[in-house]
Amino acid sequence: MPVNRNALLRYTTIDRCLRNRYRKWTLNDLVEACSDALYEYEGIDKGISTRSVQYDIQVMRSDKLGYNAPIKVIDRKYYIYDDPEYSITKLPLSDNDLDKLNDAIEILKQFKEFSHFQDMSSIVQKLENKIYTEQNKSSGIIHIDRNSQLKGLEHLNGLFAAITKERVLIIEYKSFKAKQSNRIYLHPYILKEYNNRWFIIGKVHKQGDILNLALDRIISFNETNDIKYKRDEEFDADAFYKNVIGVTVNKNMFPRKIIIRANKRHAPYMITKPIHHTQKLISEDDNGIVISIDVIPNFELEKVLLSFGPDIEVLSPPSLRDRILKLLQSSVSIYNNTI
């Protein structure tokens, strides 16, 4: 049962009132306390109905949220906790709750490079300590690949801040192919992760081209106030990468229908883990399957196809088939020469 913010505020307010045993609480008192809390914390000044508070008490008494609060009425008028030590804040965590918290913490740790996580690190530590005292687990259930040796992760926080503040960046950048670095003036739009590597995506100043820059190739960057930041209202990240594997969107190219045959051994993997969201099954027999994807050919697509080795065959388009064939022949040549 999902709980909205206002309902949770009312539950905690009722809980706080009933834990105060130096005062007798009528239903009207609880209504007034909840109304005051909603105004103080949420700016809601229209108050709350008696019926709503009655329903809140009913929910707290039940096991819908796991509270099972021992709320009783004395003298047909005053609400109290039958157990003076009870509080909804003291509820023990179930094994299922602990498992979910463990998983959530492991996922949060993947984003430790952001200052937002640094601000949360103490909270995460408290959660871990709480879980450890409640449940003696030496390791998490979820294990996510991460490489602490990746370069460029130190730029994440600054780039994120520049996008949030809408600042033009002056980036000193050196690609793998370039002999020297060059300076790029970029209007940054988004940060994107692909294959455990981070990229900043934006529009080059005055040129108007959307560009992706790998963070591990950024030498340095600075914000500048000399150039006014321009948001591209037509840029939609989901639409821009809809027909692309990875981050490279080749200019002036359109999606092509790529037809691939997978052998019997690899077919189940390709069915359960599609190469792309456009993947469709064309045919299936005892020898394997034939599928199609609608994507723009790029460097990342080639790498994905090559990673399948002898388990797949590109049937069309001919240009991509020839390209993959040449790359495979080049690999064979290297091994032959080594021998």
DSSP state of 231: -
Distance CA 292, CA 302 (A): 15
State whether 102 and 25 are in the same domain: no
Identity at 170, one-letter amino acid code: I
Residue 98's pLDDT band, with cuts at 50, 70 and 90, is low
State whether 281 and 235 are in the same domain: no
- Answer yes or no: is pLDDT of 137 > 80: no
β 182-194/256-263 pair status? unpaired
Long-range pairs for 298-306 at CB < 8 Å and ≥24 separation?
A: 298/244, 298/245, 298/246, 298/248, 298/249, 298/250, 299/246, 299/248, 300/194, 300/195, 300/244, 300/245, 300/246, 300/247, 300/248, 301/245, 301/246, 301/258, 302/327, 304/245, 304/275, 305/260
In the chain, the number of structural domains is 4
**107, two tokens:** 């996922």
CATH code of the domain covering residue 213: 2.30.30
State whether 23 and 49 are in the same domain: yes
Q: What tens digit of pLDDT does each residue of 208-247 get?
A: 789 999 999 999 999 999 999 998 888 899 999 999 999 9
More confident residue, 334 or 100: 334
Question: Strand, helix or coil at 186?
Answer: strand
Phi, psi of 52 (to 5 degrees): -65, -45
State whether 84 and 108 are in the same domain: no
DSSP string across 28-83? HHHHHHHHHHHHHHH---S---HHHHHHHHHHHHSSSSS----EEEETTTEEEESS
Q: Is the pTM of this model over 0.85?
A: no
Q: What tens digit of pLDDT does each residue of 258-272 get?
A: 999 999 999 999 999
Rounded percentage of the chain residues whose pLDDT exceeds 70: 81
**177, two tokens:** 């192919």
CATH code of the domain covering residue 35: 1.10.10.10
- Check residue 173 and give its pLDDT: 94
Cβ atoms of 81 and 23 within 8 Å: the answer is: no
More confident residue, 94 or 204: 204
Is 144 domain-assigned?
A: no
State whether 309 and 333 are in the same domain: yes
Q: By residue range, what is the domain housing residue 212?
A: 155-240
- Check residue 339 and give its pLDDT: 59
Is 38 domain-assigned?
A: yes
Which among 216, 240, 264 is the end of a domain?
240
CATH code of the domain covering residue 311: 3.30.70
State whether 264 and 298 are in the same domain: yes
Distance CA 13, CA 79 (A): 13
C-alpha closest to that of 235 among 158, 155, 295, 163: 163
Distance CA 308, CA 64 (A): 49
Task: Tell me the residue ranges of DSSP E strands in the chain.
Answer: 71-74, 78-81, 168-173, 182-194, 197-204, 210-214, 218-224, 256-263, 280-285, 288-295, 312-316
Which among 214, 240, 266 is the end of a domain?
240
State whether 86 and 100 are in the same domain: no
- Check residue 160 and give its pLDDT: 86
Compute the half-sphere exposure of residue 95: CA atoms within 13 Å on the CB side of its CA: 3
- Answer yes or no: is pLDDT of 141 > 60: no
